[in-house]
Amino acid sequence: MKVCYFKEFPKPYLIYPIVLKNNFKRSNASIENKNVKYIVDNFYVDPKNLVAYKKLCGFENGKSIPAVYFSMLSEILQNQMVENEKISFSIKDLLHISHKMKQRDSLFANQRYTMTCQFSLLSQNQFVYKTLVQSDGKTVLESESIYIIGYKKQEISQLDIGNNAFDRVIPKKLIRQWYVPKNVGRKYAQISGVIHPAYLHSWSAKAFGYSEMTVHDMWLKARVLAGLDLPKSYEIYTQFKKPLSLPSSLQLFTLDKSTEVTEFYVKDEAKGTQHVVGKIIINA
């Protein structure tokens, strides 16, 4: 396995434009198996970036770090991998289908962290980024993001993230609703450094196959987590159903099956379209 070490995170605004440009040339419907791991050792989070992230996603501006913030940082390493390792796929054919995350302990801004991100091929057109976050030699967070390329829409509904109950039991308790303005995608792109054309302008979104401007699906997941009361230890499994067109009014529904498990989904209030479904498991 190839292992690369970094003293700090690469600058995302330098990486992503190159990735985007090169992906216009990459049109493979399958990718090679690249067994590679990137590690950023002994870092502190950027306090200004963290404050901006919390504000945009709806988190309270306290001393703790939302676990999903580290998933945003992991994408910086993922994009660096795509460029350095020549991982070949067309960005137009790429879809983020699921994300799972396990927080083992509280996360604070004054702690020093080490992040490991590993790329693995699951099938000819499906791959995963696994992220591990440690502090003081202890694992505090684990996450996995699964992507598919060269997909067909009918295939997405058949994908399973480990919770078949999503389609059998529909959460009906409305606990949050919020309006998402058109510029949220652009603002999240500025904070995260993931500057996809679909987040920037209507014309560039349409050029990439979207009906309107959209926002990164991990912003939507973060917005859901900001609306829930979570302990210091939990697991969350999320499936992304359909991109969110902006502007939009969203509703968050939950179903409390027990004190340990909460299922949820997010839908467009006007259209009734489901955008995210998931479940949260509280760890004792």
Distance, CA of 221 to CA of 130 (rounded, Å): 17
Select from 146, 105, 172 the least CA-distant residue to 240. Answer: 146
1: number of Cβ within 10 Å? 7
Q: Is the separation of the CB atoms in 244 and 215 below 8 Å?
A: yes
Distance, CA of 217 to CA of 240 (rounded, Å): 7
Distance, CA of 236 to CA of 281 (rounded, Å): 6
Structure tokens at 81: 């991998």
Q: Is the separation of the CB atoms in 77 and 43 below 8 Å?
A: no
Residue burial 149-171, b: 16+ Cβ < 10 Å; e: rest: bbbeeeeeeeeebebeebeeeeb
Please give the pLDDT value at position 237: 94
Residues paired with residue 282 on neighbouring β-strands, in sequence order = 234
Please give the pLDDT value at position 207: 81
Range of 253's domain? 2-282
How is residue 197 annotated by DSSP? G
Q: Residue 41 is part of a domain; what is its CATH number?
A: 3.10.129.10
Please give the pLDDT value at position 284: 52
Please give the pLDDT value at position 82: 82
* Angle between helix 67-84 and 217-226 (nearest 10): 170
Q: Is the separation of the CB atoms in 140 and 133 below 8 Å?
A: yes
Q: Is the separation of the CB atoms in 257 and 246 below 8 Å?
A: no
Residues of the chain with pLDDT under 50: 153-168
pLDDT digits (tens, 9 = 90+) for 48-66: 999 999 999 999 988 899 9
pTM for this structure? Answer: 0.89
Please give the pLDDT value at position 197: 84
Beta strands in 124-170 (DSSP E): 126-135, 138-149
* Angle between helix 184-192 and 217-226 (nearest 10): 100
Distance, CA of 37 to CA of 128 (rounded, Å): 12
pLDDT digits (tens, 9 = 90+) for 170-206: 667 898 999 999 999 999 999 998 878 889 888 888 8
Please give the pLDDT value at position 153: 47
**Structural domains in the chain (count):** 1
Please give the pLDDT value at position 101: 97
Please give the pLDDT value at position 42: 92
Distant-in-sequence, close-in-space partners of 190: CB < 8 Å, separation ≥ 6: none
